[in-house]
Structure 1
C-alpha cells in the first residue's frame, strides 16, 4: 500500500469515526473503554482485534468495498480571491468563521432545549410531554438534566403500525412501544397462538391477539398512577410485560431529553436468574431503541459491580433489593432521578425477608416516582409494605374477578360484639381514630360509610355522633320521596364534605363504593352475597381500604360462611368468630 492510498484510508476512517461519534452508544462505548484502559481492566477482546480470513475473502479485502461505499463526496472549495495566507483579511475571515460555528452550536443547543412541549392539565401532577424528535438515538440523548419533580410521565400503548411482512412483524413507525413488540415477536420471545392463521389470512389486528390482561396493564402504566397488579400469571410472563411498560415509559423520557448519570427506571426482581432474564430482553432491544440496562445481583462480587457502575452509563437498572440497598448505602449508585419503579414479585420478596430493603430503597427514591407492585397474592403481612410503596390514587389490575384478587390489600376486621352498646362504643373509637388521622393527612377523600340493617339502630347512632361529626343519612324512604336530596347527600359524601354517612343496607346499590376507603357494618349483612359485593366493589382507587364488621348472636348461622371468605382472602380469623361458628354448628346438630 502506497503512502497516498494509506493517507486516503486514514482520512476515510477519520470521517467514519466522526460520523459515528454523534450517536450516544458510540460515545458511551468509547468512554467505557477509556475508563477500563486507565484502570488496567481492559477486556480480552480489546487486546488484539482483527478479522480472520475466510474462503470467500482469503486476503481480508472486503473492508475496501465497504469503505468505498461510504466514501464522502468532496466538497467544492471556494476559489481564492487572491488574498495571501498571512494577510490580515484572512485572519478576520477565520475569526468570523469561528464565530459563525460558535453561534450555530448555541442555536442547536437552544433548539434542543426548546423542543420540549409541556401541556399541563388541571389535575395535580398530570403533565403530558410530547417529544418532537422521534429518533431515540439522535442528539436528544444529550446529557440534559431537567427537574422531574411533580411530573408523571404519560404514554399510550398502541400497535396500529405493527404490520406483517414476509411472515414476520415489522413496525413502520418510530414509537418505542411498537418497535419493542415487533422485536420481541420477531425473536419469538412473545408467542401468538394464531400466528399461522394471521399469516394465511393476512390479517393484522395485532392487539386482539395479545392477552387482554396485559393490555389493561400497559394502559394503566401509561396513565402515570401507581399500580397494584394481582395474580398476573394467565397472560404473557410478567417480566416481558414489565419490560414493554418500561420501554413505553422510556420512549417519553428520552424524547423529553431528561438524561443524566443516574438511571431513569428501576426494576426490582427477586433472584439473580430473573435479573439476568430481564437483562437479556433489554439487550435485544438496545440496538433498536438505544436503551441500556444494567443488572445487579448477589451472584457477582460487590467490588466488580462498583467498578462497573463507575465505568458505564445506563438508563434502566435491574437489581435485587439486597444488593441494591448495599450499593446505595455506600453511594455507589443513585436512584434520585428515577421516574418509574417496578417491584416484580412482592410476595416472594416478603417471604424471603427483603421487606426492609424495599422500604429503604423507596425512601431514597423521589416522592413522585410512579410505582408498580405485582404479586401472585398479597398476604396481610405485606399490606403495610404496599401502603408505603404506593400512593393514592392507584389502579388495580387483576387477572380474574376472584375474591382473593378483587379485595387485595383491603383489611377485614371482624369483631364479635353481642350488645348494641358495645357496638356503638367500638364505632365511636373507629370514627375518632380515622377521622383524626384523616385531618392530619394532606390527602382528602370520601368519609366513613356505616351500614345498618334496621332504621331504628341508624337513628340511635345518629343522635350520639351528630354532635361531633358532620352526619348524612340515607335510607329507602329518602330515595323514594326526595331523590334530589338523596343525590345531594351522595355528592357531598363523595367530595368529603360529610364525615359519616349512615345508610341502610337497602341503599347500598345507590352508593358508589369504588372511592370509599372505610366501611363499617354495624350489623352483619342479611346474606353472605351482600358482604362479598361490598368487599369486591369498595376501595378501587385507594391502597388504604378497611372493612369493619360487627357480629352478634344473630350472625351465628352465617359465621362459617364468613370464615370461608376470610380464609380465601388470606385474612386472620378471630377466635370469637370460630366459637360463634362452632356454637351454631352444635345447635344445628341438636335440631337434626
Structure 2
C-alpha cells in the first residue's frame, strides 16, 4: 500500500530532527542570530526591515508588494545576459516607475535632522532599539519578584521610552551633529536609565543610516566614559539587547586584568566602548585600541569625573581622537572646575536639555548675580560695566545676544539714547533688533524690552539678561529656565534699589536653591 504525502513528510522531518540532534554544531536560534549579526557587522552590511511596517500600503497597492516586484526586476537585470531581454525588462521597469511617479505625488521625506517626533516620523531602527531595551527591562521585571514600588518605577520608564519629547529632541540634535549637555540629574551623579536607552538607540540609528548610505563605520563609533567600574557594568548591561541588532559593546575598567582586556580587544571590533578614563587611556598608550576615528564621545556624570581626578585624562582622550568628535555630557548642576572643563571640551553648536522642569535643573550653567544700586545713574553705570566685561570674556563667542529689561517703554528709550551716547550701536550692520555693539572683534546684539513686553518672549538665544528694574519672582524664574539654551553657559544680572525691598526675599530663596552666592549687601538690605 502506497504511503500518503503526509506520512512521507513526517518521516522526512523526523530524520532531519534526528540529524540535527546528533550534530555537534547544532546551536539554538538565539545563538545563531548572534553569529549571523556578527558576520553581517564584519562584512559591513546590516539588514533593514522593508515590509509593510516600513512603508504603508496604498489604495493602488493594498498588499504593499510593489517593492518586491521592483527587487525582482533588479535581480533579472543583474542575472540575464541577453541584451534583448535586458532591454525588454528595462522597458517594463521604466513603465512601472512612470506609473509609480504618477500614483505617488507626495513631497520628499525630510532629512533626519528635520523629522519631528510629534508627527510620528522616528526611524524604524531607532524604534527597534528602544523596543529591544524595553523588552529586556520587562523580562528582568518578570524574573525578579520585586515590590510594587519598583514595578511602578519600571512602568514609568517604559512610558517614557514609548513617548518622550526629551528623547526625540536628543535624537534630532545628535542626528544634526550638535553637542548636547543635559542637566536632568538634579543632584544625582549620572544619567538615568531611560536617558541612556535613548542615547544608545540614537547612536545605533546613526550607525545604521550611515551603513545604509554605503559609508564605512570606524570602530569604536561611540566612547562612553564613566567614573567607576560599577557604572561601566550598568551601562554595559543596558547595551546587551542591542547585540542581536548588530551593535557590539565592550566595557573596560580597572576591575579586570589588563592583559585579558588586551587579548579581548584583538578578537573583536566593538561599535560601543564603555570605559573609565584611566583604563582607556592606559590601553590607548599601549596601542591595544585605536580611538582616533571615534565619532561620539559621552561623559556620564561630569561632576563625578572631575571629583575622581579624571579631568586631565578626559582631555587626553579627546586629544587622541583625530577629528573633533560630537559630544554628549550628562551632569547635574556644576560650577567652578566642572564648568571650565566643559567650556574647554565643547566646540561647535550646543544644545542644553533637561528632563526636569525645575529651576535648579533648567538653570544649570547659568550664573545669577544680584547687585544693590543706590540710584538710577549707578544702575546705568553697572549695566555698562557688565557689557564691557562681556567683550573681554573669552568664553563668549564672536556674536552673542544680550537682553536689557527696563521698567517701562519710556525707560527703554532713555536707556537706548544713553547707550548710543556712550558709543554703542556704532556697528555697520543693520539694526534689525535693538542695538549692535562692536569692539572690532566681537558683536553684541542688544534687545531693549520693557517689563510688559517680555511676557511670552522667546529668550532661548539670549546669553546675558540684565534687569534694570527688579522683576517679580515668576518672571525671573521663567527667564532663568528658558534663557541660553543654545550655549554652554549664561548669566542673568538683576539690579536692586530701595524700592525693590519687598522682592528681595523671594529672589534670595531662588539663588539659594540654585546654589548661587547671595551678596552680603543684599542680605542686610533685606533685613532692614
TM-score tier (shorter): 0.5 to 0.7
1:324 maps to what in 2?
280
Q: Which deviates further from its counterpart, 516-525 or 448-457?
A: 448-457
1:521 maps to what in 2?
467
1:558 maps to what in 2?
503
2:204 maps to what in 1?
247
2:372 maps to what in 1?
416
1:353 is aligned to 2:309: yes
Contact preservation (8 Å) 1:380, 1:571 = no
**Residue 275 to residue 184, structure 1, CA distance change in 2 (3 Å):** same
**Residue 258 to residue 470, structure 1, CA distance change in 2 (3 Å):** same
Shift in Å, 1:451 = 1.9
Shift in Å, 1:221 = 3.5
Alignment match of 1:268 (pick from 192, 216, 225): 225
Shift in Å, 1:257 = 4.4
Contact preservation (8 Å) 1:410, 1:544 = yes
Contact preservation (8 Å) 2:225, 2:274 = yes
Structure-2 separation of matches of 1:228 and 1:360: 20
1:314 is aligned to 2:327: no
Structure-1 separation of matches of 2:297 and 2:487: 19
* Unpaired runs of at least 5, structure 2: 1-23, 25-32, 44-109, 143-157
Structure-2 separation of matches of 1:420 and 1:540: 31
Matches within 5 A, 1:435-474: 435-436=391-392, 445-453=399-407, 455-456=410-411, 459=414, 462-470=417-425
Alignment match of 1:512 (pick from 458, 461, 465): 458
Contact preservation (8 Å) 2:41, 2:246 = no
**Residue 282 to residue 456, structure 1, CA distance change in 2 (3 Å):** closer
1:183 is aligned to 2:132: yes
Matches within 5 A, 1:14-29: 25-26=38-39
**Residue 467 to residue 309, structure 1, CA distance change in 2 (3 Å):** same
Shift in Å, 1:275 = 1.3
Backbone CA RMSD of aligned residues: 4.3
TM-score (norm 2): 0.64
Structure-1 separation of matches of 2:41 and 2:246: 11
Matches within 5 A, 1:146-185: 175-185=124-134
**Residue 561 to residue 258, structure 1, CA distance change in 2 (3 Å):** same
Report Cα offsets for 1:352-399 as digits up to 9, x if no partner: 333333333333335542211123444555322333344453333322
Structure whose alpha-carbon radius of gyration is higher: 1
1:228 maps to what in 2?
181
2:512 maps to what in 1?
567
Shift in Å, 1:532 = 1.5
Report Cα offsets for 1:300-327 as digits up to 9, x if no partner: 2334434443443222111112322333
**Residue 431 to residue 465, structure 1, CA distance change in 2 (3 Å):** farther
Structure-2 separation of matches of 1:259 and 1:523: 57
2:59 maps to what in 1?
none
Contact preservation (8 Å) 1:129, 1:252 = no
1:475 maps to what in 2?
none
2:12 maps to what in 1?
none
2:292 maps to what in 1?
336
**Residue 470 to residue 392, structure 1, CA distance change in 2 (3 Å):** farther
2:162 maps to what in 1?
210
**Residue 432 to residue 356, structure 1, CA distance change in 2 (3 Å):** same
Contact preservation (8 Å) 2:399, 2:443 = no
Shift in Å, 1:27 = 9.8
Structure-1 separation of matches of 2:223 and 2:116: 20
Shift in Å, 1:503 = 3.1
**Residue 161 to residue 449, structure 1, CA distance change in 2 (3 Å):** closer
Q: Helix, strand or coil: the match of 1:507?
A: coil
Shift in Å, 1:459 = 1.8
Report Cα offsets for 1:34-56 as digits up to 9, x if no partner: xxxxxxxxxxxxxxxxxxxxxxx
1:277 is aligned to 2:234: yes
Report Cα offsets for 1:434-473 as digits up to 9, x if no partner: 23558x97x554432222225458625732554432179x
Q: How many correspondences in the alignment?
A: 403
Contact preservation (8 Å) 1:155, 1:248 = no
Contact preservation (8 Å) 1:228, 1:396 = yes
Structure-1 separation of matches of 2:209 and 2:340: 32
Structure-1 separation of matches of 2:378 and 2:359: 30
1:395 is aligned to 2:351: yes
1:293 is aligned to 2:246: no
TM-score (norm 1): 0.58
Contact preservation (8 Å) 1:309, 1:333 = yes
Contact preservation (8 Å) 1:267, 1:343 = yes
Q: Helix, strand or coil: the match of 1:187?
A: helix
Structure-2 separation of matches of 1:518 and 1:161: 35
Q: Which deviates further from its counterpart, 528-537 or 428-437?
A: 428-437
Contact preservation (8 Å) 2:130, 2:197 = no
Q: Helix, strand or coil: the match of 2:454?
A: helix
Structure-1 separation of matches of 2:257 and 2:509: 48
**Residue 400 to residue 378, structure 1, CA distance change in 2 (3 Å):** same
2:320 maps to what in 1?
364
Alignment match of 2:390 (pick from 434, 444, 458): 434
